[in-house]
Amino acid sequence: MPLSRALLLADEMGEADPGVPGWFQYAVVLDGELVGDIGVHLHEDLRNADIGYTFARSHQGKGYASEAVARVLEDLFTVRGVEEVGAECDSRNVASAKLVARLGFRLVERVEQAEWFKGELIDSLVFRLSAWEWRRNRGGRLG
């Protein structure tokens, strides 16, 4: 089932505006069911943003997350004029690293021992994608 049937809704954040600096949360709703969320942190300069995402376990492994994040990226780069988007994940989070790689992000840094997680020091991976890279790659994949 393609996600194109799903709605990408602004979460219940009242007056929140995705064009204003700060965090904005999108809810991904499929057939009335909340299946995921995508958070966007728009920086004060309006040119940079960071994203985060979580999908319900029952809706993972179907390409939904990639498709929904691609839609948000398309909006950021083509409508909002954002120039670069960053994403960061735990180095052990294979699904997340694969998702951003699939969308054309490049790995820019591995931060050794970035934070403590359940009593263990973990590395984090930092990825970036520019508007130029997005436009260049757009024809060859989702988005």
Ligand X SMILES: CC(C)(COP(=O)(O)OP(=O)(O)OC[C@H]1O[C@@H](n2cnc3c(N)ncnc32)[C@H](O)[C@@H]1OP(=O)(O)O)[C@@H](O)C(=O)NCCC(=O)NCCS
Asked if residue 66 binds ligand X (CB under 6 A), the reply is yes
Binds ligand X (CB under 6 A): choice among 9, 16, 95, 101: 95
The CB-of-15 to ligand X minimum distance in angstroms stands at 27
- Which two tokens mark 32? 């009335």
Binds ligand X (CB under 6 A): choice among 40, 85, 96, 105: 96
Asked if residue 64 binds ligand X (CB under 6 A), the reply is yes
Q: Report how far residue 84's alpha carbon sits from residue 76's, in angstroms, rounded to the nearest whole number.
A: 9
From 40-48, 57-65, 75-83, 109-117, span contacting ligand X (CB under 6 A)? 57-65
CA distances to 41, 126, 131 from 111, in Å:
20, 8, 24
Residues interacting with ligand X, by CB under 6 A?
52-55, 60-66, 89, 93, 95-96, 98-99, 102
